[in-house]
Amino acid sequence: MVNGVAMPLEQAQIPVTDPAVTIGWSVFETLRSDDSGTPRRLPQHLARLKRSCQTATIEMQDESHISAEVLEVAQKLGAARIRITLSGSGFRVVVGQTFDRARFGQPVRAARGIWRDEPYLGGSVKHSSRAPWVAAVRRSGVDEVLLVDDQGRFTEGTASSIFAVVDGALWTAPHDGRVLESTTCVEVLERAQQLGIPVNRQGALADGPWDGLYIASTTRDLAPVVELDGQSIAHWDEVGRTLAYRD
């Protein structure tokens, strides 16, 4: 749907002069819908979209319109990946695509990379200027790059949050404005709380040791890292298996 008008994906278009295309001035959210066409955690995604708009100086459009369009797309497709994009010029795009849930929990090959703070938008804004992170993954020849701060701790992946299990506790970076407040991360932490698994919000040491290392995202849920910087590592420890997504 483009500005509320539904159409097949191959017919959807915005001008090539739009700032979302020319300079990446747009913000977005990606969420899942279930088999019944119900969007998961939509209020949380809309709240994060609003925060991104405020920081990126993009007008947040009517949430009721966005919600209705997400719901319409989800109900057409059932289980789907849905992306909301708001352009700095005012375009509103909601795209739905079916995806294979067999992707959940699939092993991931990763490499470590350097995390640097973004001075103007910060790490908590989900904006579309993703070229540096796309290049990092492609140059490394892996599925994901796990970023490490100057304290030697994992912050986030280029398109995921990072979890490590250390002595039975689940470690992940704090939502302190440096990294994106991942909705999937929040969901995994809620599972941990329900199961009585201890949580540490310092961010795991990037050199380990860990019992298991994982990433989490909308279309992978919790997935084990099985290779890091070309070296095989252990995966699916007991805590990770307990936290893995189940219908």
pTM, entire model = 0.94
pLDDT for 247 equals 65
Query: At 163, which CATH number?
Result: 3.20.10.10
The last residue of a domain, from among 75, 99, 123: 99
Same domain, yes or no, for 127 and 227? yes
Residues in the chain predicted with pLDDT less than 50, given as ranges, are: none
pLDDT for 139 equals 97
pLDDT for 181 equals 87
156, 215 Cβ separation under 8 angstroms: no
Same domain, yes or no, for 92 and 174? no
The DSSP output letter for 36 is T
In a domain, 3, yes or no: no
The last residue of a domain, from among 65, 84, 99: 99
Q: Amino acid letter at 95? A: V
Q: What's the domain range around 50?
A: 9-99
Same domain, yes or no, for 136 and 187? yes
CA torsion through residues 134, 138, 143, 148, sign:
negative
Which is nearest to 117 in space by CA: 178, 162, 159, 177?
A: 178
Query: At 37, which CATH number?
Result: 3.30.470.10
Same domain, yes or no, for 145 and 232? yes
pLDDT for 75 equals 95
In a domain, 4, yes or no: no
DSSP string, 234-246: ----HHHHHHS--
The last residue of a domain, from among 99, 129, 148: 99
Same domain, yes or no, for 52 and 95? yes
Same domain, yes or no, for 114 and 232? yes
- If one counts the domains in the chain, the total is 2
Kindly list the strands in the beta sheet with 92-97, ordered across the sheet, starting from the edge strand earlier in the chain: 26-33, 80-87, 92-97
Same domain, yes or no, for 62 and 148? no
Same domain, yes or no, for 22 and 94? yes
pLDDT for 102 equals 84
In a domain, 1, yes or no: no
pLDDT for 245 equals 84
